[in-house]
Structure 1
């Protein structure tokens, strides 16, 4: 998942492109894949529901940047993203452009929250320093930053909205109604999340780990449950050393022993850390099923395997859509869905 989620109006393409290219990528060295911005070509996957993509990346991102312009404030979708980020308690950076000031946030959940008016090149440099202090970006050169901040500021100034006539009473009422509707939606879902968390906590006293994992993965339909398993298992596997992830694959889903040309130091390190068992006589590497970090991941993999075996219609549909064998025994499935390379 991306590190930065960029919330913006689709009607501000020059500002959005300059912010992503000049500041994040060129000045601060943020890789393209760490930026989720729907205006970037290739960000939204063809064939996927774009609302699901946006919701998933908003949830998993480390921070949300709001490029707040007059057009942003008129967008119902932008206001919904603002409310969702607040509900999810994300680290947020409200950036005020178009000569807007802090007063425009008074009727939002971000009233009183620190925001930045990008009304001078120095404010862009201040923002970059904030990213670095929070370890969101690596170190960067001040000369490069100064140059790119100047370029970005010029784009911002050149794209400021021309003052428009004040909205009518009817238009203001419509905007308030749209905003209230979006916030009611956010509050309803926030309550559902709180209730579910409370329910799960109560279950922990009476149910085993597999029951809890199964409940946490359950979506509103089979497709959503499948996506929940893929997302959560993928995150867990990518946190492991590839050798450990490969050992899990071979132990659970392959008929063969796991052995490969692996640096002996790595094997000794992972064995000493109790992630692996290595049998040099039989030339086999197996994972430690008692390791606390591996138990939950393996438990979800087994539940996912049971779910796939019990959902033949979903599997048939996914295989038709992806032209892949939907099976945990398929290493291409691990690469495509979990983003994990199995060593063979």
Structure 2
């Protein structure tokens, strides 16, 4: 069922919208089911309904459209769509201009349309007459006068609650726009220059010694990827003696990276016995105890190295720096372990 009274409003103006709907419903006795107002419970869109489709249905044929024309209203594309629909369909409209707007806001499709000011007490009687002609008024004139008086007494507080539209000084806007255009132009020139520099660097990398090129890249990029890598590697090397020895570390590396490598207790009994004492391994089931303090330290350092290897920039820099080692630069590779961790 399409409602008789459609309240076209901005959602930001709900305090005012509620007051106007109360005035129509309680002051005039217009039945709740005859008033459509999308922002208010009981007057809005039922649960499960599509918002846009329901709004389109309601704006199709109401008897009268009450327009609450605020700054927020004219700044809402949805409100302007409702206004356009009401104009196209030729609905009877009742525009109410809300301060700080004045009647100069009535333009475009509303040009020449008679409107009332929000605080124009007497003019609200025209709304009563309109709804009375539609046989929607069920309350006495006395009830209307009492409710209308209360409405106007409440208006100052209601208007205070309305969010103010944020505006920008036109001169300031023009200045910012000009600066933005200049910045865009300058950025484009920088991008062209950067593209040329990248081509030059690429050509130099093919001609120059790799380690020298990497050193220059580090100098100008300000990165310390190699230093971070070296620090983590040195920390792992220093942990070898604390966890039992290099063979224990190799066993832990294999376990960490999911490689198949058995615990060689027969050839390295002392290393694994010591590892067992510091809780790094368990001899009974030949497993790594990653919850142990030393094991956690090893895992933390390995995670740092993996993170550096996962990032393309850091990987390129570190791999280039150690290119002379002639090994697969893969953290889960035995040659990598032997070269960097001494296992």
TM-score of Structure 1 vs Structure 2, range by shorter chain: 0.3 to 0.5
TM-score (norm 1): 0.45
Larger radius of gyration: 2
